[in-house]
Amino acid sequence: VQCGAWGCFDEFNRIEAEVLSVVSSQIKQIQEALKNELTKFQFEGKEISILSTTGIFITMNPGYAGRTELPDNLKALFRPVTMIVPDLLQICEIMLLSEGFDTAKVLAKKMTVLYRLAKEQLSKQYHYDFGLRALKSVLVMAGELKRGSPDLSEELVLMRALRDMNLPKFVFDDVPLFLGLINDLFPGLDCPRVRYPHLNDVIEQNLADNAYQVLTEPSEQVDKIIQLYETMITRHTTMV
C-alpha cells in the first residue's frame, strides 16, 4: 500500500471464514482510501500513506475441496474474471518442442491421452495428481533424459520419463494397470530401469552388511529406494 505495489493473493478462499471477515474490512478501508484519492488514511489504528497505483487481486477455486465460500460483502469488493481449463495438449506440445523434441505433436497426444485414461481408470487416491503440475514435471524430466541420452528415440525417452516419474506414487494394485496403459500407447517399446552404478552398489552393500535380504527386482526393495532418490531430485518436496 505504502509503495503502491500490486498484490495477488493466490488460493484466497483457503482462508477460514472467520479470518476472511477481518480481511474484508481491511480491504474495504484500502479501497475507500483509493476511491477518495487520499494520500494518507487510518489503517488498523495507524495513519499510513497510500499510493494510487496500489492494486489488490485474488485467485480462488470455487467449489474445490477444502475451500471456503467467500462472504457476499467480500465478493462485492472484487470484479470477477472467469478462467477456463488450460489446453493440456497444446501446453504439452509447446513444452516438448522447447525441450528439443521433433515429434512433439504425436508425443503430446499420447501423453495427454495417458493422463486422461489414468485419471479415469486408476483408483481414486488423495495424493494422485494428473493435472498440469504433474504433466510439467514429467516434461522437464523428459527434456533432461533426452539431452543425457541423445541416441535414444524420442518415444522411448518420453515413455521412460512417464514411467519413472509416476510409478513411485502408485498404490500396488494400480501399477500393472498403469504399465498396461503405457504399453498400449507405446507398443513394442521396453526400457529397463536405469541403474546408478555407485548408488545401487552402496545400497545393496549396506543392506547386506545389516543382514537384510537384498531384493533387486523391479518394484522391490532396492528399486523402491532408487524411486525415492529419483523423486527427491525431480520434486521440490517429498512426502513419505
| pTM confidence score | 0.68
Using an 8 Å Cβ cutoff, are 146 and 157 in contact?
A: yes
**Mean per-residue pLDDT, 13-34:** 87
Q: What is the mean pLDDT of residues 178-204?
A: 86
Residue whose C-alpha is closest to residue 93's, from 104, 77, 81, 79: 104
- pLDDT band for position 65 (cuts 50, 70, 90): low
Q: Which residues, listed in sequence order, are joined to residue 47 by a DSSP beta bridge?
A: 42
Over residues 21-47, the mean pLDDT reads 90
What is the C-alpha separation between 239 and 182, in angstroms, rounded? 25
104 has a pLDDT exceeding 90: yes
The helix/strand/coil state of 231 is helix
pLDDT cut 70: percent of the chain above it: 98
To the nearest whole number, what is the mean pLDDT of the chain? 87
Task: Report which of residues 155 and 194 the model is more confident about.
Answer: 155
* Separation CA 201–CA 195 (nearest Å): 10
CB neighbour list of residue 17: distance below 8 Å, 6 or more residues apart:
68, 69, 71
pLDDT for residue 177: 93
Q: What confidence tier does 49 reach under pLDDT thresholds 50, 70, 90? A: very high
Q: pLDDT band for position 115 (50/70/90)?
A: very high
Helix (H) or strand (E) holding 9: strand 6-9
| Range with lowest mean pLDDT among 22-26, 86-90, 215-219 | 215-219
Q: How far apart are CA 186 and CA 115, in angstroms?
A: 14
